[in-house]
Amino acid sequence: MEAPAPHSPAEPGSVQIVVTSPEQMRELGRRLAKLLRAGDLVMLSGELGAGKTTLTRGLGEGLGVRGAVTSPTFVIARVHPSLGDGPPLVHVDAYRLSGGLDEMEDLDLDVSLPDSVVVVEWGEGKVEELTEDRLQVVIHRAVGDTTDEVRQMTLTGVGERWATADLSFLVA
């Protein structure tokens, strides 16, 4: 993982990272997990195949949760209990959900959030009302017929929880 070229400044409270392989994406997830705690909402955005589930797999490894983290596209949400004393991981794929928070209420994320780390793929415009504090992760990749593994990522902390969080250690 490396810092992006100087011509792409990050906004305050955010960090930009270049990831060049799925293995690096998983490692980034493992490192990010060290910063996460119960009550954290992580929103993942990016094109199909950008690496959202791969990053979440690394988060699950870093959090020490049970079960293989796979895409919950068809089941919408999966809960991965902690194997230790850490929080469980709730992994949501909101891709097939067209509505906002009203449609998400059936998943009881508001009940899960205080005790879990909740990761929502495709959550923009759907889960922001769950909490004022969230970590937004945007993953950009080359689109079209390409085998390019490079991902440009922007991680932005929103709210008081993330105001003092130092995300710069993720760039190393």
Read off the pLDDT of each residue in 80-109 and give the average, rounded to a whole number: 75
In whole angstroms, give the CA distance from residue 140 to residue 44.
11
User: Could you report the per-residue pLDDT of 15-65, keeping only the tens digit for each?
Assistant: 999 999 999 999 999 999 999 999 999 999 999 889 999 999 999 999 999
Q: Which of 13-17, 62-66, 123-127 has the lowest mean pLDDT?
A: 123-127
Beta pairing, strands 89-93 & 117-121: parallel
* pTM score: 0.85
In whole angstroms, give the CA distance from residue 55 to residue 61.
10
Task: Reply yes or no on whether the pLDDT at 110 is more than 80.
Answer: no
* Buried b or exposed e, range 52-89, using 16+ CB within 10 angstroms: bbbbbbbbbebbebeeebebbeeebbbbbebeeebbbb
pLDDT band at 5 (very low <50, low <70, confident <90, very high): very low
